[in-house]
Structure 1
């Protein structure tokens, strides 16, 4: 790793600098006074600060609590960035090796994404879950790389990054992407093609000609202004911004329908089958029974039919209590959550068909694909299951052309408006897909 490759596009703190600054390195304070108010240059925080006796300078320093997980920065911390030449792109960087065929809906989105990238403009791709959003990006990425541009795809969660990276590597083998997330082995590497969690963008400054934000509606990005700031900070002043989502917020939906936001809508999956519409089933007080009888019977029936299951619980505590009861049905059943140290391994085992049923919190509501599964939500009325979360969860079923159908059940202790809206949205997309000739009736 050369100095140029390591520093290009990055903005790093003292502890992250492994090279001596030179004439191509510029600096600025990590924390400064902005009209009498403290502001963090890395994450734009103006409210969440604290003070401590600093090990670096020996004085009492103010530090930013908002982005502390990316490494503590204090009032004595310096941010370093590279202003010299960038590494050259590899030969054939823009050569696309993907030979698949796009659906009619995907083709329209692909053309619009490519045009937005060429003209450094903004575009939203509103596509139902399983529509094939990644493939829609390929032509635009190829055009950008061929033109010497640097491309970033940012996603809210590391699971999504780990799933996207090998797909992009297969499509662009001449430009192997680097995948950045907490603990990533690529964190010191350079590539014109980057797949990263949005949190890692705190470490970049005007690095990318093309910024693609996947799952733009997802937690934590949609609720964290500092992550939205990080996306803007990591873009070059003249750059394109592409948003991808299956569930845009109400404001964006209105802007799309009124023509105020440039967007492409894909209301159907590439395999031309409708989205599975969730059924609702009352299961009683699941917090008390943990594994309601109706859920237990459904799981046994499905497993006896040879189905594989993805089961969502709203909280880790309830899921942990439920797991031993599920293991009485089949000892191979596992559970996963964000802090699970074996999360990556369990997801891979589920993907390979080694686990018959996987219990999960909302950590797996999006960004992962398991072929041929049925899906259930236990406690679907819980507040954690917003409309967008339920739509995404339902979208885990029927994603592949080989297994285009699947059953989705919302087990509940009382129907909510979020459940009704999620089902209504899925039905509306299926209707629109049929009207546009994108679904085979």
Structure 2
């Protein structure tokens, strides 16, 4: 919006959806998932803020279903917000399947127009600038992700979008200190019960200089060729868009401003391409069965411990493929790399 845009505010009673909601999910929660889900539901019913702190791949989305359904049945309007478009794109079809009779809108930059009054809205946090005093229940997924944690105006937008005194609930694997709430559930195991894959460190000396000369470092080239030969989908994370765009070869690549990001990720999911190059834009909100991951330049500042934990969490998410290779290629080991590895090892010991 701009200062010359016309803005209309509705001051009467809020609109309500006319849907009879249906909960169509055939899955089963583990004991730990069930416990966390019931704790979250109790907080939602008591209108008390709740933090769901769960490892990557713990099945956090499924834990939200009972709380969302209970809220919808009570005639409440629900919002699930996330900082990244990719998270919303991942969640939308899943929610449509679970709540087949509910009008659901997915709001993100470039989203198509959607008709009807939505009882359930999935939105990037930027889209919540459009709402005021609109939601009875708000969940913020990946609440520690950039840019949400670093932008006070986004946090205010979430608060403004919620109705007065409505509690806001947070979901993440790597919470910041500011997200700690009185009510908290901790889920230390993935839904399939297997340990989190632990990253390995591998020196890739002078990689930036070699890539600048148009040469892929031998160790990285061998890693890519091995995955391609064995039909294992892979992601290669790079620290800058410049390095991404200048990477030698024809591998598909995506970044935050890429116009075909959604389509390229879908091609990887459908095994139409062997792998892709990406920035940290895909560190969250993406599940690819049996994907293996390499981080190039893991020592660079953009790869914080939280980012590295989330990137590692892309590996081993499916029941059929609970393991996989996660390698941090580096030009010197950093404290953040050590911190990420130690954090994952602690989860596995819990």
TM-score normalised by length of structure 1:
0.76
* Alpha-carbon contact 1:310-1:373 (below 8 Å) kept: yes
Q: Confirm whether residue 286 of structure 1 aligns to residue 207 of structure 2.
A: yes
**Aligned-residue offset at 1:84:** 2.7
1:10-21 map, 5 Å: none
Q: Confirm whether residue 155 of structure 1 aligns to residue 79 of structure 2.
A: no
* Alpha-carbon contact 1:309-1:375 (below 8 Å) kept: yes
What residue in structure 1 maps to residue 196 of structure 2? Answer: 275
1:292-441 map, 5 Å: 292-324=217-249, 327=250, 333-432=251-350
1:154-173 map, 5 Å: 154-173=81-100
Stretches of structure 2 that go unaligned for 5 or more consecutive residues are none
* Alpha-carbon contact 2:19-2:101 (below 8 Å) kept: yes
What residue in structure 2 maps to residue 208 of structure 1? Answer: 135
1:23-422 map, 5 Å: 71-73=1-3, 79-93=7-21, 95-186=22-113, 189-250=116-177, 252=179, 255=180, 261-290=182-211, 291-324=216-249, 327=250, 333-422=251-340
Shift of the 286–239 alpha-carbon distance from structure 1 to 2, 3 Å rule, reads same
Alpha-carbon separation, structure 2, partners of 1:359 and 1:172: 34
Aligned residue for 2:332, secondary structure, equals coil
Aligned residue for 1:237, secondary structure, equals coil
Q: Deviations over 1:188-246 (max 9, x none)?
A: 65211000000010010010000000000000000000000000000111323110000
* Alpha-carbon contact 1:180-1:187 (below 8 Å) kept: no
Which structure would you say has the larger Rg?
1
Alpha-carbon separation, structure 1, partners of 2:281 and 2:177: 23
**Aligned-residue offset at 1:91:** 3.8
How many pairs are equivalent?
346
**Aligned-residue offset at 1:119:** 1.1
**Aligned-residue offset at 1:88:** 3.4
Alpha-carbon separation, structure 2, partners of 1:251 and 1:192: 29
Alpha-carbon separation, structure 2, partners of 1:235 and 1:318: 40
Stretches of structure 1 that go unaligned for 5 or more consecutive residues are 1-70, 328-332, 433-441
**Aligned-residue offset at 1:251:** 5.5
RMSD across aligned positions (CA): 1.5
Alpha-carbon separation, structure 1, partners of 2:124 and 2:291: 27
**Aligned-residue offset at 1:90:** 3.1
Alpha-carbon separation, structure 2, partners of 1:192 and 1:251: 29
Alpha-carbon separation, structure 2, partners of 1:166 and 1:306: 27
**Aligned-residue offset at 1:79:** 3.7
TM-score normalised by length of structure 2:
0.95
